[in-house]
Amino acid sequence: PAGNVGNASQFFTRIINVIIVDPATPNIVYMATQNGVSRSTDRGLNWTQGAGSLGDARSLVLDTTSAPGARILYAGVTGVGVIRSTDGGANWTTVLNGATPAVSTAVGAGSFSKVVVALAPPTSPPNAAGVQVLYVALSGSGGAPDPVGLFRSTDAGTTWTQRTATGMPGNTQGGYSFHIGVDPASPGDGNKDIIYVGCVGQARSTNSGTSFTGLSGLHADTHAWACVR
């Protein structure tokens, strides 16, 4: 806009994938782009990239139960895996990558590209350490299944297991048609959460990814999920 004296013009030629306005502090905005994850503390005028967040960040989620002064975020970075910040996006560390045992086994001799991450809703009562259950799916390539599979963590990304995911839809078209979402009405327990996975086709799981049932009547190719309650 006219009069913008900040540094947001750096994004004019970049692909912006996700924008999150912090509901507790609306002046703070988080943004996932093709070059990593950046944060603004002045409503988008000026931006600072988080240390350790380099790469094409295609997905970004915020744990709204985390303390406003120490926000927890997770981002899915193409070809890298999942990174986590526990200080509001200033610094990032990797919690899932190709060397993660569950992922390494599933990928085999192939590889993965787009990474989508989704948070389960908070349990009741919420865990004092923040949301513990995460779901991640990977777009496979180079002979790996596509998608590679669905992975779950019940300890905020410390350890991961692959879900059976029977009936999970396939063909992400190189990540072009690929996203997952968790119904906010789910219990958040990692066992009975309702998960939506979309590739060229779409399906829903009511048991945290053990099995999926196909959804009909939807347009082919999935780019995002949103649940309104």
Average predicted confidence (pLDDT) for the chain: 96
pLDDT digits (tens, 9 = 90+) for 84-104: 999 999 999 999 999 999 999
In DSSP terms, 62 is beta-bridged to 73
pLDDT digits (tens, 9 = 90+) for 161-196: 999 999 999 999 999 999 999 999 999 999 999 999
Q: What does the pLDDT read at residue 5?
A: 84
Q: How confident is the model at residue 1 (pLDDT cuts 50, 70, 90)?
A: low
pLDDT digits (tens, 9 = 90+) for 101-131: 999 999 999 999 999 999 999 999 999 999 9
